[in-house]
Structure formats: structure tokens, C-alpha cells
Amino acid sequence: MHLYTAQEMRDLDQYTIQEVGIPGVVLMENAGRMVTEEILRRHPHPGRAVILTGGGNNGGDGFVIARLLWGAGWDVSVWITGTQEKMSAETATNYHVCRRLQLPMEHFTSDKGDSLSPLLQQADVVVDALLGTGVKGPLRPPYGALIERVNRDTKGWVLAVDTPSGVETDNGSIETIAIRADVTVSLVGPKWCHYLRPGAEYVGELVIADIGIPKEVARKMGTSARLNGPEEWKEFFLPRSRWSHKGTHGHLLVLGGSKGMLGAVKMSGVAAYRTGVGLVTLGVPESQLTTLGPSITEALLWGWPEDELGQFGNDIPVDWRERSNRFKAMAIGPGLGKVSNGQEWIRQLLQGDHPIVLDADGLNLLALDPSLLKERSAPTILTPHPGEMARLLNTSVQEVERFRPEVAKEWAHTYGVTVVLKGSHTVIATPDGRQWVQPKASPALAKAGSGDVLTGIIGALLARGWTSATAALAGVWLHNSAGELAVTSSSHSVLATDVIQCIGDAIQLID
């Protein structure tokens, strides 16, 4: 599914109106009708609605909603912000219709707030049709005062048309204040702000409304970003052939598991097996083999040179070259810990032509010299959480979170790698400039070990021959779905090992 910026949305609207010839007023009618249907679905009997309209086309949608609810027997009260002279032709048309029908309409000014408050308190639904994709910069008066009152006085629920007013469409920032919606009905498709904080926290439940722009037209116009879902990659998830053997499904080497962190490498290995890889080798510091051995039955184990503290890094094994040919891909990082000869150690591993997924301390080693990536031609996936991304960029976590799409895109482009910038709505960026957002977020995953599971899943897909883009996308989706499925009682109680158990069920969800 397409994920829109404000400009991409405007371009699609303009193309539909000017080139395809569907009049803007028809699109506005469809938008208003879809939103009204959503209200009536949730509140089938006539009730009370306060409809707040702004000066742009978002406000125009509000006038359509007012008319349709009124027609369905609702008691409506329309509060207008913005002047009639600045209305677009479509918005003005719908405003005049409401006037001719003599709907109760009032122009909002700060001194009228006290008359609005009782209506907000009595309303079953408050419709926010103040500002949509056209908002720019800090709110001008009286929007701030109005929004503050809505957030304070509304007792029923708030429905935002397209975006909660006050939230910037492309980056989810809130310069002043924003409507706290219970439901947001996004027109045509989702917008970036529905997934980026802080704006995303104001969206409530997100509903997508089709306003009659032909799918072919939307496809032709396209967007630079999409939502992650099975339709992006499911063609690669083939049934397991009855003629296959373990070698057919790839061999993954996971490097990690320093003293005290063996659980991480083990979880990655088991998650990889659950994702269907044929063979997993766990490479751990030599002295850890005796501890790891009894706890994992299916993996092959390989002891790596270590220093006197039991951590990697004296060197890579002398037989690395001949043995490395057996592996189809590598996952470097789960429980890797410190590596005494770190920069040289990671350089030698990145030099090879294995597809690699780098996580955790693997990323911290990379941060010593990210330019190593530029020498690689094989697929590389980085899976940083915001803290690791900040270390790679030598910046703060706040900066990374503020510019999530830009950071992932820029890094992917500069270093020719696929970036999986983790978080509630993980952003995935590929070197060719494409981006995806994981739309569903499972908070059960907010627990130690989740990242190791993701690394194992992605590593498995790389070892099975998937491209880095498809492995990253399918990996993030399977991980999140398994996280959701693992919630059998409370999302507080899910363990990373429970998530691993659910990978099979997540695969079953791919339709």
C-alpha cells in the first residue's frame, strides 16, 4: 500500500482532477461520505455532532459531513475557522449548501470559546475538519485555542479527517498543539504522520477511506514509500518442496555469544531455524562452547579465537577462508559484546562476499569505520535501534527519532545497504531510495531479546537466497506478527522465546 507525503497527495489529487477529469467537488463529496459512513457505523442512531471546519479543503470535507449527518437526523453544529474569501471553489460550494440548508453555523473566534464548550461536552462525536495535508508551520490563531478547548472539553469521541489537525503530514511533528483523535479517517491512503511520533500518538484508530480515485491512477502516480505487508514479498515465500534437503534452504553462520550473552546467539539461531533455514552454525568464543553446547540441539557449533577475557577478537580463524564457503549468509552481532581487535576483525568479515545482517555490537564495531561498507558488493542489512543508529551517525537518539525516514534513507543511499531502523513502526530503506514502514506495532516486542530474534529471521531469509530488501521486509513483518501471536494472555508477559515459537504461525498468516 502506498504511503503518502503531502506533496504526493496533492499531485495525485491534481492529476485526478485535471487529467482524469473527476471534479474536485466529487472527490470532496466522496471523502465526506466515507467519513460519515464511518461515523454512522460506530454510532448508528442519530446523535449530536460538533463539526469544526478550517479554511482549506479539509474544511470542505467537514461541510459535506455536516450535511450528511444532518440528513441522517443528527443534531449538528458547525464551527468555522478561516474566511470565506480564501475557500477553494469546492469548499465554498459545500459551505453555501450548508448555508442554504440553514444548518447551525458559527464562526469561531477566541471570545466564543465559552459557547462552544458546552456543545463539545454534549456531543457524541466531534469532527476535526480543521487542517489536513495543507498545514504549514506553527498554528495561526485561533486554531491553537480551539484545539486546546476540544482536547479539554470533549466527552464523546473525536474523529479527525485525514490527519489530526496540528500534526505536520510529512514528519509527524507538532509545532504548537494537535487534536487528540480517537479515530482518524485518512483519505486515499495513509500519510507518514500516522506512523511518526509525536503525531502518531494523536491518531487513535486509523481507517483508510477510498474516495474514488481509480487504483490504476494511484499506481501510476506512485509514492516513494509504501507500507510493509505480504503483498510486497510473498511471491518469494514458496512452499517447502518435497524434493528439498537441508542444503536447499541455506546455511547461516551467526557470530556472537560472548561470555554472559550466549542466550542472544542461541535465540537468533533458533529463530533462523523456525524461519526455515536448512542449517545454522553458531560461532562463539572457544571457551563458550561447553556452556552453549548442551543448550541447543540443532545448531552446529564453531569455537572462535578469543582473548584472555573470553571475548572475540584476537583474530578470525585460520581456516576461515575454506570454511566460510559453506555459509550462504552471516548474522553478526547477537551477544557479540566487546571485540578486542574490533576494527580489524569486522573489516575482515565484511571483506567477503556473504550477504550479511549486522546487529547490536556488530553495528557498534561498524561505527568505528562505516566506510568499510562502501567496499562491499554483497547484500548488507543493518538493523539498528535508534541508539545504535545514533552511534553510527555520531548524533543523539532524539535527532534520529525526529528524522527517522530521512536518516534511514540517507544512510541506505550513502553506504549502499538496507537499513532497518527499528522502533514501534520500523522504517526500512534500500539503497535505491525506496522506503517502507511497518504499519502494525506489537508492544510485546519491547523486551530484551526481540532484536536477536529479528536478526535470526532476517539472517535465515538471506541464507535462503532472498534479496536484502525482501529479507528485511519479510523479516520485520514476520517478527511483528509473531510478536502479536505470542500474546496469549498479557502483552506484558511475552518472552522473546515465545516470539520464536510463533514464527511458524506468522508464516501461516501470509496469504
Ligand X SMILES: NC(=O)C1=CN([C@@H]2O[C@H](COP(=O)(O)OP(=O)(O)OC[C@H]3O[C@@H](n4cnc5c(N)ncnc54)[C@H](O)[C@@H]3O)[C@@H](O)[C@H]2O)[C@@H](O)CC1
Ligand Y SMILES: Nc1ncnc2c1ncn2[C@@H]1O[C@H](COP(=O)(O)OP(=O)(O)O)[C@@H](O)[C@H]1O
Residues making contact with K ion (CB under 5 A): 128, 160-161, 165
Cβ distance to ligand Y smaller for residue 93 or 424:
424
The answer to whether 268 and 295 have CB atoms below 8 angstroms apart is no
60 is known to lie in a ligand binding site: yes
Task: Tell me: does residue 446 bind ligand Y (CB under 6 A).
Answer: yes
Q: How many other C-beta atoms can be found within 10 angstroms of the C-beta atom of residue 366?
A: 28
Beta bridge partners of 251: 279
325 is known to lie in a ligand binding site: no
Q: How far is the CB of 226 from ligand Y (least distance, A)?
A: 18
Cell of 466: 532472498
- Comparing CA positions, the residue from 111, 63, 115 lying closest to residue 84 is 63
Q: How far is the CB of 442 from ligand Y (least distance, A)?
A: 5
Task: Tell me: does residue 441 bind ligand Y (CB under 6 A).
Answer: yes
Applying CB under 6 A, which part among 30-38, 201-209, 320-328, 440-448 lies near ligand Y? 440-448
Displacement of CA 267 from its chain's centroid (Å): 24
Tell the residue number behind the cell numbers 562463539, with chain if given. Answer: 284
Applying CB under 6 A, which part among 170-178, 192-200, 389-397, 435-443 lies near ligand Y? 435-443
Task: Tell me: does residue 131 bind ligand X (CB under 6 A).
Answer: yes
2 is known to lie in a ligand binding site: no
* Burial of 241 (C-beta count, 10 Å sphere; 0-12/13-18/19+): exposed
Task: Tell me: does residue 211 bind ligand X (CB under 6 A).
Answer: yes
User: Which 8-state DSSP code applies to residue 444?
Assistant: G
Task: Tell me: does residue 58 bind ligand X (CB under 6 A).
Answer: yes
Task: Tell me: does residue 36 bind ligand X (CB under 6 A).
Answer: no
Tell the residue number behind the cell numbers 508551520, with chain if given. Answer: 137
The answer to whether 113 and 149 have CB atoms below 8 angstroms apart is yes
Give the torsion through C-alpha atoms of 66, 67, 70, 76, to 10 deg.
30
Task: Tell me: does residue 424 bind ligand Y (CB under 6 A).
Answer: yes
Q: Measure the CA–CA gap between 481 and 123, rounded to whole angstroms.
A: 37
Applying CB under 6 A, which part among 53-61, 112-120, 435-443, 485-493 lies near ligand X? 53-61
DSSP, collapsed to helix, strand or coil, labels residue 498 as helix
Q: Which of 3, 65, 74, 82 binds ligand X (CB under 6 A)?
A: 82
Q: Which of 5, 36, 57, 275 binds ligand X (CB under 6 A)?
A: 57
Q: Measure the CA–CA gap between 186 and 181, rounded to whole angstroms.
A: 12
Q: Return all residues near 234 (Cβ < 8 A) that are at least 6 apart.
A: 510, 511
Q: How far is the CB of 182 from ligand X (least distance, A)?
A: 18
Displacement of CA 97 from its chain's centroid (Å): 40
Q: How many other C-beta atoms can be found within 10 angstroms of the C-beta atom of residue 150?
A: 25
Residues 311-350: x where in contact with ligand Y by CB under 6 A, - otherwise, as a string: ----------------------------------------
Task: Tell me: does residue 263 bind ligand Y (CB under 6 A).
Answer: no
Task: Tell me: does residue 55 bind ligand X (CB under 6 A).
Answer: yes
Applying CB under 6 A, which part among 37-45, 138-146, 323-331, 386-394 lies near ligand X? 138-146
Run of H or E including 407: helix 404-415
- Comparing CA positions, the residue from 299, 274, 277 lying closest to residue 503 is 274
Question: Binds 458, which of ligand X, ligand Y, K ion, none (CB < 5 to 8 A, cut-off by type)?
Answer: none
Q: Measure the CA–CA gap between 120 and 154, rounded to whole angstroms.
A: 5
Task: Tell me: does residue 442 bind ligand Y (CB under 6 A).
Answer: yes
Q: Which of 140, 448, 488, 493 binds ligand Y (CB under 6 A)?
A: 448
Q: Measure the CA–CA gap between 212 and 182, rounded to whole angstroms.
A: 25
264 is known to lie in a ligand binding site: yes
Task: Tell me: does residue 422 bind ligand Y (CB under 6 A).
Answer: yes
Number of residues that bind ligand Y (CB under 6 A): 18
Binding region for ligand Y (CB under 6 A)? 360, 385, 422-424, 426, 441-443, 445-446, 448-452, 454, 479
The residue ranges that bind ligand X (CB under 6 A) are 13, 17, 24, 27-28, 31, 54-61, 82, 86, 131-140, 143, 161-162, 187, 211
